[in-house]
Structure 1
């Protein structure tokens, strides 16, 4: 039978994503790992976020192979889960109850005030949510996103003029996004994207990301020449890169929890 005929007669590959859980014992606890068999997956992947651990398997990988992969990465998994411990995450915001709002590396005290229109603002006492009686959880998510976007644009507007001299041009546009893994990017047309979670972290770390992306206007790569440009403008960039390695997952998790 020819190869073409075998391919035509063979059953079509499954396109259904299959999910179940597998129990794994760590040093201090047992956890459930979400196991996903995904026909689109090309390799075994283990990931962690605020919802827990996830093991993704391509269809060709056996369940035993996936379990061996989990055992081999138990130490890494335990370390990553520490980033999402409840004592490192502020509790979810509940309308009417005092809370804490992540902003610029701090947890700002937050209070609620009855009002006709929804508004979130910073004052000398911390953060205040003006909250209508008919407001909904969707109202809160919209309010938080608008607030964080305004705070992010204020920071960029304060820093950007300092770094424009010596660049061939300014970014054509700055877009604020919720990014899964990156902190920023620069498109070939000169438009810049920044992760909204940046404003939750330390301002100097946010400023480093801005400088990093601006330097791509000079060097569209990560060559030694690129890092030289970053070093000239932001000598402490290594410390901020380390900050994201230790705190980046938690910042992104906090933003997802809020929005």
Structure 2
């Protein structure tokens, strides 16, 4: 049993607190910003992705300082919101109406069929979708996600063996998930996580992210030594990084729209 003194001096960890603040931009638009007070945060931070804007505050920062920080960055925020605007040309996933789906940098033709259960398969003439007469939107999105995950794992399975030589170990496991900002990560236990949106874009960009994360098995940082390891295995990494800067946000937004994720 802890002593009374230990109980008194031990701090109860604070939890993350979230609320929403509304701000008017210079062009007159009004936007909602998620405000997050995080005890782990070291500084004020403003970020934005396809889900919206987020202001992170250290626990000791005042709300007034947060408001002042937002006002100082209104111009930057408006510019980033424009870059994250929904892609109006992106197809909505509607049974019988959607004609193409993005896959490996292409818009692949869709073929709709009636079937006993929901399934999606890639054939030479396009993507074939089999659906029962009555199918829920949840089942449809779950089936599409499973299709993309299977296609992504097929790509990883082709590339991974060629990069394992020279690594201290193989990844403990490889997970695919919808990531809001990152394209990949490597956990201390060796679990490698990749953004599912990668399978929508060009294969060389997907392969680069895989190599990038594998190199963290050698260097758990972004030091010059790390980038030398990337250079040895994937000399064209700069081209792919530039591609992500130009197309990455649109790619993530497209997957979110297809899967109808928040």
Distance change >3 Å, CA 229–CA 109, structure 1 → 2 = same
Task: Look up the match of 1:228.
Answer: 228
Shift of residue 111, structure 1, vs aligned partner: 4.2
* 1:61-76 equivalent positions in 2, closer than 5 A: 64-76=64-76
Question: Can you give the 5+ residue segments of structure 2 that lack an aligned partner in the other structure?
Answer: 1-7, 9-13
* 1:12-91 equivalent positions in 2, closer than 5 A: 19-27=19-27, 30-36=29-35, 38=37, 42=41, 43-56=43-56, 64-87=64-87, 90-91=90-91
> 2:149 matched to 1:149?
yes
Secondary structure of residue in 1 paired with 2:122: strand
CA distance in 2, matches of 1:176, 1:39: 27
Task: Look up the match of 2:192.
Answer: 192
Matched residues, number: 248
* TM-score using structure 2 length: 0.78
Query: Per-residue displacement from partner, 1:207-228 (whole Å, max 9, x unpaired)?
Result: 1111112222333332222211
**RCO comparison, higher one (Cα < 8 Å, 6+):** 2
CA distance in 2, matches of 1:18, 1:233: 42
Query: Per-residue displacement from partner, 1:123-163 (whole Å, max 9, x unpaired)?
Result: 34432321112211111121112111111111111112222
CA distance in 2, matches of 1:113, 1:169: 44
8 Å Cα contact 1:98-1:112 kept in structure 2: no
Distance change >3 Å, CA 74–CA 139, structure 1 → 2 = same
Question: Can you give the 5+ residue segments of structure 1 that lack an aligned partner in the other structure?
Answer: 1-7, 9-13
Query: Per-residue displacement from partner, 1:81-134 (whole Å, max 9, x unpaired)?
Result: 223323366143122212432222233333432211111122344323211122
